[in-house]
Chains A and B, each alone.
Chain A
Amino acid sequence: MKGILYLFFTTLKNAVKEFFKRPAKVIAGLFFAAMLVLVIVSGQMGAADSAGEFRPIGELQAMILALYAAMFYLMAHQGLSAGASFYSMADVSLLFSCPISNRLVLLYGLIRQMGTSLLVGLFLLFQYSWVHSTYGLSLGGLVLVLVGYALTMFCGQLTAMVIYSATAGDEHRRKNAKMIFYIIGAAFAAGILVPALRAGTDFLGGAIASANAKWTVFIPVAGWLRTIPGMAMSGGLLTLGIGLGLTAVYIGILLVIQTRVNSDFYEDVLKATEISFTAITAKKEGKMAEAIPLNVKVGKTGLGPGKDVFFRKHLLEGRRSGFFLFDIMTVMMAVMALIFSYILREEGVLPVFLFTTYLQMFTALTGRWVKELTFPYVYLIPQPAFRKLLCICKENMLKIAVDAVIVMLPAGLFLKAGVAGIIALILARIGFGILFMAGNILVERIFGSLTNKVLIFGLYFLTMILLAAPGAVLGGVLGVVLGGLLPGQLSAAIGYGITFIWNLLVSVVIGYCCRNILSCAELNNR
């Protein structure tokens, strides 16, 4: 016990000391606190303006159910792959071999994990302004929502650990667990979505009503804790107590299973700890850790014909990673674009395009070409630097095109943008995708030697805005001017087309100017 207490408190003390030693961290902390105060004050003012008229709290409860359920499901799902771990590699190396009982080690991991979950959930406090002004939720209520979030994350991880322990080493059992897991998930999703779909045009109203139905109490953890906002406002302590009580019982049962049935859990957390250690080490070294499926199907071997060895290699890697030319982000983006199209169906395609382009800025930061910069091969291959740069970007360009079709086609069809409009939307998204990639190359080339990743990220966004602005303004102005002369859809299509041409031109210039990024590995610090 002494050892664990020493470890816990010394780590905590040193974390605080480290925080105050780094001026950047202190400034970030102060900024964080100031922003929080600002959000709280603006929330209070917004609530005063609304004169006590708030939207139904059921809406907020439905959102909370969706957030909690998604987090719980995603966390628990880890139990079907590599498992979950509350521990670091240092724990494995030093703590696990110490003469300390497994239960104490488990307790230590759980307490630490709860702290981490609370920290991760701090973003919720920044929602105070709008939840207070829209739904009248107090700060205390929002803190309770945060506690609920931390509990959900915690329960999700604990569930993953128990699932992994129960199924590790038995493929048959794991498959059964997977099937049960997916069936339960699908059943709950259907329970919410089917009544919503039946509601016809009032899909959202239907979804909110079914998310607030009594049966949702059967959704583990998320269903028990979703009533927090309503209870916080009406003071229904009993229902709140029942929700928290059920969660406590759930945690207790899982702990009993973990400690009594399977007290020897070190092996079960080892793999997840090693995976997270590899990811953390890669991040520290500025490398990108790729999400590789647990079981990679090798399939046909060999790079195939053609001189573009990097392009061929990237295609092969893409195939083996489980997603060929598009990934889960593209699918998520397409779904989000559709949801956005539904919500803003009166506003036309522009808001949807702007929203998806904004998100595209983040996804453009990844890509196999960035990873290629971390390996020595691309620098050593005796070929002109510009050609090599094009080669390593080729797969990404193809991916951008596929992504544009997958994201824009359904949204364009839903919003009845017309053939010309849809083609223009797809081209415009391709243009922005290529521009973001080129901007990324530019930032790598100019600021790659900077070690401050936050600064690089900030510079990337600033650069992107500066590069895209002329094309966007030109396209917008032309679209408006031509709007009076041509049919609306056609003028908008021309506007989108202009942004495509501008972005493409800028990208080619950037690519050519930055071609020597591959002449010397020192030009970026990867």
Chain B
Amino acid sequence: MFEVSHVTKRYGKVTANRDISFSVDDGQIAVLLGPNGAGKSTIIKCIAGLLRFEGEITICGYGNKSLEAKRLLGYVPEMPAVYDLLTVGEHLEFIARAYGLTDWQEKAEKLLERFELADKKDKLGKELSKGMQQKVSICCALLPQPKVIIFDEPMVGLDPHAIKVLKTVFTELKESGASVLISTHMLDSVEDYWDIAHIMMNGQFAATKRNHMDAEGEKSLEELFFEITEGKEENQ
């Protein structure tokens, strides 16, 4: 599990995240929703250890910037970026060595096959399209079998097959007991499997909703999202 406790992130006078607290338990999928500029990517970068912040973030009990936490964390950034001069296969080998993995080859092969990258294994990063780079980025995050994994807009640029595979991967991660956080604009892409949804507005959580699929009369995630985001805009 991971825990975000009273996190505030400021860029000079601008407050990108204000006193955010939430946690994602083992085997739980949380989604982060919100309009552009709501602060989703900022909190994700804070969790990934890329930004300084006020407050505390722990990954399975370890401070998120510790090496122990990094070993347990997977991160798929919003903007896929791969090494121009490493092949697809070498990206996975780099991750395996950096994380000190053993017997990783078979898992790497499976990942490449699932994401239809097996025939691109010897292609250099600079030869890949944006979508393929995104797939490589996902494979790199999945290879160490992280206990906590965060995806920032993972569907953007992916082809339908990859989206389908990724959705299956989400379910498998959940079943394996991993804590998953997904930031997305595509509400329908997460409708089936989310456990908890946080809707962000102006750097804060405006609403949190648990998934009770069988509950009658309960608002759908989409209805709640528009009620909060559009309703608040009207009020402002």
Interface residues of A (CB under 8 A from B): 2-4, 6-7, 10-11, 14-15, 18, 88-90, 92-101, 169-171, 264, 266-267, 270, 277
Q: Tell me whether B97 and A3 are in contact (CB under 8 A).
A: yes
Q: Tell me whether B65 and A171 are in contact (CB under 8 A).
A: no
Q: Tell me whether B99 and A3 are in contact (CB under 8 A).
A: yes
Q: How far is the CA of A264 from the CA of B51 in the complex (A)?
A: 8
Q: Tell me whether A169 and B83 are in contact (CB under 8 A).
A: no
Q: What are the residues of chain A within 8 A of B50 when measuring CB–CB?
A: 92, 96-97, 266-267, 270
Q: What are the residues of chain A within 8 A of B210 when measuring CB–CB?
A: none
Q: Tell me whether B85 and A97 are in contact (CB under 8 A).
A: no
Q: Which of A10, A169, A170, A266 lies in contact with B49, CB distance below 8 A?
A: A266
Q: What are the residues of chain B within 8 A of A266 when measuring CB–CB?
A: 49-51
Q: How far is the CA of A233 from the CA of B233 in the complex (A)?
A: 73
Q: How far is the CA of A95 from the CA of B70 in the complex (A)?
A: 11
Which one of B88-96, B194-202, B213-221 is at the interface? B88-96
Q: Which of B13, B70, B81, B91 lies in contact with A99, CB distance below 8 A?
A: B70
Describe A's contact surface by its main secondary structure: helix
Q: Tell me whether A93 and B81 are in contact (CB under 8 A).
A: yes
Nearest B-chain residue to A17, judged by Cβ: B85
Q: How far is the CA of A90 from the CA of B87 in the complex (A)?
A: 13
| Nearest CB of chain B from residue A3's CB, rounded to whole Å | 3
Q: Which of B10, B49, B80, B84 lies in contact with A93, CB distance below 8 A?
A: B80
Question: Which residues B30-71 have CB closer than 8 A to chain A?
Answer: 45, 48-52, 65, 67-68, 70-71
Question: Which residues B85-127 have CB closer than 8 A to chain A?
Answer: 85-87, 90-91, 93-95, 97-100, 124-125
Q: Tell me whether B95 and A94 are in contact (CB under 8 A).
A: yes
Q: What are the residues of chain B within 8 A of A98 when measuring CB–CB?
A: 70, 95, 98-99
Q: What are the residues of chain B within 8 A of A270 when measuring CB–CB?
A: 45, 50-51
Q: Does B75 contact A (CB under 8 A)?
A: yes
Q: Does B79 contact A (CB under 8 A)?
A: yes
Q: Tell me whether A3 and B98 are in contact (CB under 8 A).
A: yes
Nearest B-chain residue to A4, judged by Cβ: B98
Q: Tell me whether B83 and A90 are in contact (CB under 8 A).
A: yes
Q: What are the residues of chain B within 8 A of A7 when measuring CB–CB?
A: 83, 86, 94, 98
Q: Does B137 contact A (CB under 8 A)?
A: yes
Nearest A-chain residue to B141, judged by Cβ: A97
Q: How far is the CA of A10 from the CA of B98 in the complex (A)?
A: 14
Q: Which of A2, A11, A170, A267 lies in contact with B98, CB distance below 8 A?
A: A2
Interface centre among B51, B81, B82, B93 (most CB of A within 10 A): B81
Nearest A-chain residue to B9, judged by Cβ: A267
Q: Tell me whether A92 and B86 are in contact (CB under 8 A).
A: no
| Nearest CB of chain B from residue A103's CB, rounded to whole Å | 11
| Nearest CB of chain A from residue B128's CB, rounded to whole Å | 12
| Nearest CB of chain B from residue A355's CB, rounded to whole Å | 38
Q: How far is the CA of A6 from the CA of B93 in the complex (A)?
A: 8
A-B contact pairs, 11 of them (CB 8 A): A3-B98, A6-B93, A14-B90, A93-B80, A94-B140, A97-B49, A99-B68, A99-B70, A100-B67, A101-B67, A267-B51
Q: How far is the CA of A98 from the CA of B68 in the complex (A)?
A: 10
Q: Does B154 contact A (CB under 8 A)?
A: no
| Nearest CB of chain B from residue A126's CB, rounded to whole Å | 27
Q: What are the residues of chain B within 8 A of A6 when measuring CB–CB?
A: 93-94, 97-98
- 3 nearest A-B pairs in the assembled complex, by CB-CB distance: A3-B98, A89-B81, A99-B70
Nearest A-chain residue to B74, judged by Cβ: A97
Q: Tell me whether A97 and B73 are in contact (CB under 8 A).
A: yes
Q: Tell me whether A267 and B52 are in contact (CB under 8 A).
A: yes
| Nearest CB of chain A from residue B46's CB, rounded to whole Å | 9
Q: How far is the CA of A7 from the CA of B83 in the complex (A)?
A: 9
Q: What are the residues of chain A within 8 A of B13 when measuring CB–CB?
A: 171
Q: How far is the CA of A169 from the CA of B80 in the complex (A)?
A: 27
Nearest A-chain residue to B67, judged by Cβ: A99
Q: How far is the CA of A100 from the CA of B69 in the complex (A)?
A: 11
Q: Does B12 contact A (CB under 8 A)?
A: yes
Q: What are the residues of chain A within 8 A of B27 when measuring CB–CB?
A: none
Q: Tell me whether A88 and B81 are in contact (CB under 8 A).
A: yes
